[in-house]
Chain A
Amino acid sequence: MEGLLPKLVFVYLGIALVATSLLVVTNKNAVHAVLWMLVMFLHQAVLFIMLDAEFLAAVQIIVYAGAVLVLFLFVVYMINLRTELRINNFTVVWPGALLVSVALLLLSVQAIKTFKPAPPVGDMTTEKIIKVGHAKLLGKALFTEHVLSFEAVGVLLLVAVLGAVVLTRRIRLKGEGV
């Protein structure tokens, strides 16, 4: 019975993730879609904890649920989407999109049917994660092996912030007072 509980939790999480993402895709109301996406991200954080990645679960909640979704909510509130509730919110090509998606799903499931996991190569075992902590292990790898990529990502985020500010600022004409 030892192995049953994780499987049950996984099945629940899988069903919840698929159901909430379907609700995000099919919802007419954009605010509801954002809130369903919040539920989806929280379930995904639990999935990360099941995979012994507690730091990534925390980042998932802080960055996605805390920052990205608030950004989405603000933009949804800024843009009046009341007409969205009445009109057709799928393009005319949606049966084709469904066909392509189902074909992609079937082909990829066929492809990973014979998947065999590679033998472990690193030293990030469950015991070590429990002893040292996932954040410490990840931080050590991040600031030694991947420090250049880390700094590049810092520059990328700075460019993203500057880009968002520059794109959305009001363009003043020459005669207009400041």
Chain B
Amino acid sequence: MIPISWYLVLSLFLFVIGAFGFIARRNVIIMLMCIEIMLNAVNISLVALGKGLQHTAAHVLVFFVIAVAAGEAAIGLALVVLLFKKTREVHMDEFRTLKG
């Protein structure tokens, strides 16, 4: 039987890696992927806590998080395509102004 705190530490590591990538990467597609990594880290901790509590609420929450992540990826990537069509650029630090 693996203690719950091991899962929490693992999920913390994944979350920190995702957060680092989100801040440090220039490419907006990789930044979106880092958001997915962070959401997955939270999912791991939720499933582990749900097992510890033996309650379905945490697992239902994971289900909703996966649905929201799918919607977020669809909208985010549509915005990336739009940005690329407009400016031929996907590096976030090149956007000095958001006005047109």
With A24-B37, A90-B26 as contacts: A112 and B70 at CB distance below 8 Å: no
Measured between beta carbons, the chain B residues less than 8 angstroms from A124 are 50, 54-56, 59
Give CA–CA (A18, B41) in the complex, Å: 10
Tell me the number of A-to-B contacts counted with CB atoms below 8 Å: 236
Task: Say yes or no: A10 contacts B59, CB within 8 Å.
Answer: no
Question: Which residues of chain A from 65 to 90 have any CB-CB distance to chain B below 8 Å in the complex?
Answer: 67-68, 71-72, 75-76, 78-79, 81, 84, 88-90
| Secondary structure type dominating chain A contacts | helix
- By size class, the interface of chain A is 35 or more
Give CA–CA (A121, B60) in the complex, Å: 16
A→B interface (CB under 8 Å): 3, 6-7, 10, 14, 17-18, 21-22, 24-25, 27, 30, 33-34, 37, 40-41, 44, 47-48, 50-53, 55-56, 59-60, 63-64, 67-68, 71-72, 75-76, 78-79, 81, 84, 88-94, 96-98, 100-102, 104-105, 108-109, 112, 115, 117-118, 120-125, 134, 137-138, 140-142, 145-146, 149, 153, 156-157, 159-161, 163-164, 167-168
